[in-house]
Structure 1
Amino acid sequence: MGKRIAGVSYMRVGSRQYPIKELEYDVTSSTREGVAGLDGVHGYKETPKVPYVSGQISTTPDVSIENLHAVTDETVTVEGPDGRVIVIRNAWYASDATAQPADGQVAFRFEGLSGDELMPNA
């Protein structure tokens, strides 16, 4: 039996669903960077990361760019094609609200205080 791993996805900001065209996210809590000295690699440093979800939203008549930009403390939820759910908590709109009328879309990026990846039951 085949399993869907790509395709249909949904995004909600609070209780409002948005018409997404493109989507990416990262909910990992830290980033690691190698530390090298003159005598070789000494190890790595780890620093906190801000979880985010970003992409493109279609500018349908019910999408207000000003309302997107006004988001400062919401829960952003993404439901992926494979059943996983991404949650960004205490999220704010973190990008320029640049619309692209020729393509009927606006770029978005929501960042938050915490993020989780909830896996579907196996």
Structure 2
Amino acid sequence: MAGNSICSASAFLGSWGASIAGEDHATLQSKAAAASARVATPPIRFRPMMRNVNEGKGVFAPIVVVARNIIGKKRFNQLRGKAIALHSQVITEFCKSIGADGKQRQGLIRVAKKNGESLGFLA
């Protein structure tokens, strides 16, 4: 019985592979080896760009673009960062004076950012 099961296992691999896939085990192994020998080129990945969807739109966008071109991108971004920080401080002080919590303050800052985008300040 034990000898019979070993024989049937080898016959099982051969007959099952031939009946289901139409190929024997050795052919499948050679195809797998050939496929692994091929050098696959990695897919080209584009870097995601964080861009403003309203870039170039808004009332103040032309002024912002001209100012950025005049003073340079690096210096412009430094000034913009300082202006945003000052505006956030003003919002924070306002929230302290009216007794608003941190969640409401964050909501006001998000609204200020959306308004800045739609007006063109973040162009």
Larger radius of gyration: 2
Q: So what's the TM-score if we normalise by structure 1?
A: 0.20
Query: Which structure carries more strand by proportion?
Result: 1
Greater RCO, CA 8 A, separation 6+: 2
